[in-house]
Structure 1
Amino acid sequence: MSSTPNSCDNRTGGLERSFPVSEDELERALRETFTRRAETPRPLAADPAGLAIRRARRTGRRRALTGLALAGMATVLVTTGMAQLGGPAGQGTTPTVVLGDPRGFTPSPLSTASTVAPAPPDPVRAELDLLIGSWLHTSGGERRELTGAGPIERAQRVPDYGGWLITSAATAAGRTLWWLPPNGSPPQVLLAGADAVAVAVDGRQVAWRDGAELRAAGLVGGQLVATTGAAAPDGAVPVGFAGDAVLIRQPGTGGFSVWRRAAGGVPGAANRDVLNVYGALPDGRVVGQVSAGTPRRPCLALLDPARALSTVRTGCGPALATDGLGGVSADGRWLLVNGTRKNALLVDLNTLGAAVSGRPAGPAVAGAVAWSRAGVALHVDATGQLVRVRPDRVLAGERPTGLPVDGVGAGERPVVVADTRP
């Protein structure tokens, strides 16, 4: 007997398929399925490898751009530093100029070592540069050693950051003038074996005695240019400038004369009444010391270099020493000069006349007087101490005193460096 199929059965009236499947058949079916899927590429919704590669490339580009920017900045900084340190054009090829007969003296370029130290806490030391032994101490805290410089008498900065001019003291071989470049290079000898050397306040002219002749030249970029010369009496030496004119001290009590080197010729007639000169005013007149009054005595005077240093105005108030030491401020207002009582006197040149007077201003000057851009006079006294003179405080009754300078060895004296920069 057979049964009738029910609509609820899972069977139809067609061909029947057996359900039993062997393991081998199942494996083959799965392999075929995976093979067909592998052969049909599908785009992935996310590509992890591509994303990582793109991120790496973006990072590399950013690093490359950053490196290029930093390299550009470094190039600019190095170039700027070289321009600042290089100084005036042509310094690297400046020849050494040795004039006159060194009398057996063979100059050689000085070696230098430059170090930067913290600026000294003493405000006096921070106003002007100082030469202590063989070391130059700048107001900015730099120290440069001048090996072999020997005794130094004067030094001054050259305008426009053109370095320093250093004049040696008198020796058996004469005097030497060095130019110290601002870029750390060794000093160069400009003159050697000179009988006397005078440098203009602005550092742009130099005059010297060379044997039987007076010579003068301009100073540009560490080179002597446009040199001129003239015969002069024995013992006549240059002591300073009034504009382009060279002030000449005649031997003995012969007075002073003017050499207008631009016009050629020889120094003019000497004015025997002039005893000393201290400097020039901004208008070109010279501040000096003359023999005047009744009875005759040393007096202050304004002198006209265009008329053989004739006297324009005289003031015979203070008792003045005749050593010729002193200095005029850059604005032409003040004169610091020695008195007869072994002290310094401060004179207001605006009041120069019959009633002029000098106010006591501390120990006597024993070397060069240097005025800072702030209008303060600095000098070294006979004991080697540094004296700072502020006109406003002297007018208020203050008596300046000397201050010891650190690092000064036995038998040494510091030298105050004049600052001629604007």
Structure 2
Amino acid sequence: MGEAELERALRETFSRRVDTPAPRRADPAGEVLRRARRTGRRRTLTGLALAGVATVLVTTGMVQLSGPGGRGGTPTVVLGDPPGLSLSPLPSEPTPVYRPGPVRAELDLLVGDQLDTSGGQRRELTGVDGVERAQRIHDGEGWLLTSAATAAGRTLWWVSADGGTPQVMLAAADAVAVSADGRQVAWRDGTDVVAASVVAGQLIAPSRVSAPTGVVPVGFTGDDVLIAQPGQGGMSVWRRAMGGVPGTVNPNVRVVYGTRPDGRLVALVTTGPAQRPCVALLDPGRGLTPTRTGCVAELTADGLGAVSPDGRWLLANGTGRTALLIDLADPAAAPATHPAGPKLVGPVAWTRAGVALHVDAAGGLVRVRPERVLAGERPTPSTIDGMAPGQRPVVVADTPALPDGA
């Protein structure tokens, strides 16, 4: 039955039920039909609305269909949580807090109890303080740190590259000397001078020799130990691998600054009745006999200084107010000297690229580049952030590069 036929049937039924044939102002059948149509429309709209709500819920969003002030415009999608879910915002990344990073230098720096490596890492060294010298161990095995002299003596710490708490290797030692590769240590122990190898934080295969009062180890030449006599008594070599006592003393040797690639030592010696200060190359295999000597009147004997990796340059203190860069190309002649910035107050460390680093009296880091010094530059200190008043960093000496094929 169609919609029109249903409408006519309803009208006829209602017409037969009335008592009078007069037309009525009300139309019961029409009212019923109109209600039915309204109900159908409402159901249709409700179905469409529910479908729209379901679509919005699936996409977890709501659509605003009018612009500002109720005017129609481009819909703006506002992402939100569907009903029944948490309305809390999604967790966001924390705002980064700026903290000054480690001091970057060509070599590692020890600032108080913090070790800042040249690679940008920072380590807290618990229990370490008063360090005077620091040396890397060959093959990146760690560091050896030597304290300044105190009433109780000196302390030597071993710091592993793998982390962990620094380990005390020596305590209350009268003097401590560390080889350039960090694998050998010599120290004064009571009436003896002792030397040993460093393996995984342990001192192994020690050698011991009785020594007069005041005799102390000051360095290494290969596996042999350099021994300084008390006062201005000179130096000798202790060939510990062969046993016995230190060799003949050369009374004219005051300071040994380092070793050249050919094995000869760069030293400060005095010559003649006037005891003139000179720079000499010494043969450690022949009782520290000089092979070449060039006198430098303005060089001091405070023991501070170091030789460049190629053996060409010596940075040491002059008698004036500056450090001196000394050209060792021909020590047989009077070596050329060049003012090279603030005086040394502690150890000097050379990079493998030939730049010398040291710290001045105010705690500033000084870089000495020979080619710039030759061009007339006077090195000046740069400030290191984060240091306490009166604090001075320690430049960590690098290990020498191995020869090709080694």
Give TM-score scaled by structure 1 length: 0.69
Question: Per the alignment, do residues 391 and 318 of structure 1 end up closer, same or farther by CA in structure 2, a change over 3 Å counting?
Answer: farther
Q: 2:128 aligns with which of 146, 149, 158?
A: 149
Query: Deviation at 1:294?
Result: 6.4
Q: Which runs of 5+ in 2 are unaligned?
A: 1-98, 402-406
> 2: distance between equivalents of 1:410 and 1:127?
24
CA contact (8 A) 2:276 2:297 kept: no
Which residue of the partner structure matches residue 42 of structure 1? none
> 2: distance between equivalents of 1:205 and 1:381?
29
Correspondence 1:22-421 to 2 at 5 A: 125-293=104-272, 295-420=274-399
CA contact (8 A) 2:255 2:268 kept: yes
Query: Deviation at 1:224?
Result: 1.3
CA contact (8 A) 2:356 2:369 kept: yes
Report the 3-state secondary structure (helix = DSSP H, G, I; strand = E; otherwise coil) of the residue aligned with 2:248. Answer: coil
> 2: distance between equivalents of 1:209 and 1:342?
34
Report the 3-state secondary structure (helix = DSSP H, G, I; strand = E; otherwise coil) of the residue aligned with 2:371. Answer: helix
Report the 3-state secondary structure (helix = DSSP H, G, I; strand = E; otherwise coil) of the residue aligned with 1:350. Answer: coil
Indicate the percent of aligned positions where both proteins have the same amino acid: 64
Query: Deviation at 1:400?
Result: 0.4
Report the 3-state secondary structure (helix = DSSP H, G, I; strand = E; otherwise coil) of the residue aligned with 2:144. Answer: strand
Report the 3-state secondary structure (helix = DSSP H, G, I; strand = E; otherwise coil) of the residue aligned with 2:329. Answer: helix
Report the 3-state secondary structure (helix = DSSP H, G, I; strand = E; otherwise coil) of the residue aligned with 2:254. Answer: strand
Query: Deviation at 1:173?
Result: 1.7
CA contact (8 A) 1:118 1:141 kept: no
Q: Which amino acid aligns with 2:188?
A: R
Which residue of the partner structure matches residue 94 of structure 1? none
CA contact (8 A) 2:363 2:390 kept: no
Q: Which runs of 5+ in 1 are unaligned?
A: 1-116
> 1: distance between equivalents of 2:292 and 2:124?
45
Query: Deviation at 1:410?
Result: 2.0
Query: Deviation at 1:126?
Result: 2.7
Report the 3-state secondary structure (helix = DSSP H, G, I; strand = E; otherwise coil) of the residue aligned with 2:110. Answer: strand
Q: Deviation string for 1:151-195 (max 9, x for gaps)?
A: 000011111110111111112221111110011111111111111
> 2: distance between equivalents of 1:395 and 1:184?
42
CA contact (8 A) 2:154 2:172 kept: yes
> 1: distance between equivalents of 2:174 and 2:145?
15
CA contact (8 A) 2:127 2:166 kept: no
Q: Which amino acid aligns with 2:244?
A: G
Query: Deviation at 1:119?
Result: 5.8
> 2: distance between equivalents of 1:325 and 1:303?
18
CA contact (8 A) 2:187 2:194 kept: yes
CA contact (8 A) 2:126 2:166 kept: no
- The worse-fitting range, judged by mean Cα deviation, of 293-302 and 372-381 is 293-302
Report the 3-state secondary structure (helix = DSSP H, G, I; strand = E; otherwise coil) of the residue aligned with 1:398. Answer: coil
CA contact (8 A) 1:318 1:356 kept: no
Question: Per the alignment, do residues 220 and 118 of structure 1 end up closer, same or farther by CA in structure 2, a change over 3 Å counting?
Answer: farther
Report the 3-state secondary structure (helix = DSSP H, G, I; strand = E; otherwise coil) of the residue aligned with 1:160. Answer: helix
Moved over 2 A (4+): 117-120, 293-296
CA contact (8 A) 1:347 1:357 kept: yes
CA contact (8 A) 2:277 2:296 kept: no
Query: Deviation at 1:346?
Result: 0.7
Query: Deviation at 1:323?
Result: 0.5
Query: Deviation at 1:293?
Result: 4.7
Which residue of the partner structure matches residue 95 of structure 1? none
Q: Deviation string for 1:325-369 (max 9, x for gaps)?
A: 100112212110110002111112112122312111111111000
> 1: distance between equivalents of 2:244 and 2:135?
30
Give TM-score scaled by structure 2 length: 0.72
> 2: distance between equivalents of 1:178 and 1:345?
32
RMSD value, Cα: 1.5
Which residue of the partner structure matches residue 404 of structure 2? none
Question: Per the alignment, do residues 421 and 297 of structure 1 end up closer, same or farther by CA in structure 2, a change over 3 Å counting?
Answer: closer
> 1: distance between equivalents of 2:392 and 2:232?
30
Q: Deviation string for 1:61-117 (max 9, x for gaps)?
A: xxxxxxxxxxxxxxxxxxxxxxxxxxxxxxxxxxxxxxxxxxxxxxxxxxxxxxxx8
CA contact (8 A) 2:357 2:368 kept: yes
> 2: distance between equivalents of 1:358 and 1:318?
10
Query: Deviation at 1:382?
Result: 1.7
Q: Which amino acid aligns with 1:204?
A: R
> 2: distance between equivalents of 1:384 and 1:295?
37
